[in-house]
């Protein structure tokens, strides 16, 4: 067994002075993290929403989470199918809502999104956003269309962020709304970019790819943990015109609807003797949801759209949603998953 495989074999409690848990060499404050993109960069420029991109984040201390995962950041800024702007004035709200309507739709049991990796780019993120989130334990999500782009991203993070200052880098090699087949680059990305990283690496798996094969590749190349799962590729059409509801056509389905899929993937990974730690995500909202994923074989769980998204009128209930998440945090902080 290699050193990389041995260090990743189990999630263990951190016995150092700093409380928390460890997934291999990834340090978490507890077993509850937040999913990529749902809270932007962990901080916003909007004075109304001082941190995070959801109004609910005003009522939840992000530094309490095991880690906060950023929006996926690329080498160059990308408008994607939305915008890089996050400092909207009140008078600009109608334009913002129109853009959201082309990139995010509530559907039965969840949400369909096609933001398309809209982000400010790695340089702007490291300069303007990361320094303001050091109180949080950060998982930086990075994405690209070649091994070379991932190497560039890793090198830039290495240069700007000392080892141990963040929890991990999450490699997003599985997004469905950028219209790219990641199967053709994933092995090269793992082989070239993982060894260069001064930070632990998490591989984010798609349920629409061969996730067992990708998990085994990750273990071979020294990846520290897996995120299971990314969104599920989906489509909705206007029943009157037959045109796609989203600007990109296809989008990523998240929320309660995909929880059975997420559970299936976690269980199948464990049944296939994948031993890397797993951060499970997909439809998690309550403590019972978390326990289901722990029973399936997860080592940590991640809150995504089921917890942070609401219909626009529903955001008036943000203090109540925030209280529910704070209660969940308290329960997870004192919870020990079942032994495997």
Q: Which residues are catalytic?
A: 175
The CB-side HSE value for 195 (13 A sphere, CA atoms) comes to 6
As a 3-state breakdown, the chain gives helix, strand, coil percent values, each rounded to 5, of: 40, 20, 45
Number of Cβ within a 10 Å radius of residue 321:
21
Distance CA 101, CA 104 (A): 6
Environment class of residue 256 by beta-carbon count within 10 Å: exposed (0-12), middle (13-18) or buried (19+)? middle
Buried/exposed code over 70-81 (b: 16+ C-beta within 10 A; e: otherwise): bbbbbbebbebb
Is there a contact between 263 and 256 (Cβ–Cβ < 8 Å)?
A: no
Structure tokens at 237: 């059409």
Distance CA 208, CA 130 (A): 32
Could you give the dihedral angle defined by the CA atoms of residues 7, 72, 105 and 265, in that order, rounded to the nearest 10 degrees? -20
User: Residue 113 belongs to what H/E stretch?
Assistant: strand 110-113
What is the number of residues in the chain? 340
Distance CA 248, CA 306 (A): 22
Is there a contact between 310 and 9 (Cβ–Cβ < 8 Å)?
A: no
């Amino acid at each position: 067994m290699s050193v990389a495989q041995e260090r990743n074999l189990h999630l263990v409690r951190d016995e150092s002075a700093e409380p928390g848990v460890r997934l291999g060499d990834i340090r978490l404050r507890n077993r509850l993290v937040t999913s990529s993109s749902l809270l932007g960069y962990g901080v916003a420029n909007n004075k109304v929403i001082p941190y995070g991109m959801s109004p609910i984040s005003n009522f939840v201390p992000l530094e309490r989470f095991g880690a906060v995962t950023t929006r996926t950041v690329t080498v160059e800024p990308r408008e994607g199918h939305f915008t890089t702007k996050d400092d909207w004035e009140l008078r600009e709200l109608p334009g913002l809502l129109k853009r959201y309507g082309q990139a995010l739709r509530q559907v039965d049991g969840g949400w369909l999104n096609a933001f398309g990796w809209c982000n400010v780019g790695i340089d702007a993120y490291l300069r303007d956003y990361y320094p303001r989130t050091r109180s949080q334990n950060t998982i930086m999500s990075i994405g690209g269309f070649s091994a070379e782009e991932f190497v560039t991203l890793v090198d830039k993070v290495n240069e700007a962020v000392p080892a141990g200052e963040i929890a991990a880098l999450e490699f997003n090699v599985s997004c469905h709304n950028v219209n790219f087949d990641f199967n053709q680059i994933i092995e090269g990305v793992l082989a070239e970019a993982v060894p260069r990283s001064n930070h632990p690496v998490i591989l984010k798996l798609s349920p629409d790819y061969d996730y067992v094969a990708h998990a085994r590749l990750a273990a071979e190349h020294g990846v520290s943990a897996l995120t299971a799962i990314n969104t599920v590729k989906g489509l909705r059409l206007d029943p009157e015109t037959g045109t796609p509801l989203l600007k990109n056509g296809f989008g990523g389905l998240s929320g309660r609807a995909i929880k059975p899929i997420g559970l299936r993937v976690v269980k199948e990974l464990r049944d296939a003797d994948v031993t890397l730690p797993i951060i499970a995500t997909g439809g998690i909202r309550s403590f019972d949801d978390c326990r289901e994923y722990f029973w399936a074989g997860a080592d940590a769980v991640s809150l995504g759209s089921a917890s942070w998204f609401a219909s626009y009128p529903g955001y008036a209930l943000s203090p109540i949603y925030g209280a529910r998440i704070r209660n969940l945090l308290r329960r997870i902080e004192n919870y020990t998953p079942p032994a495997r």
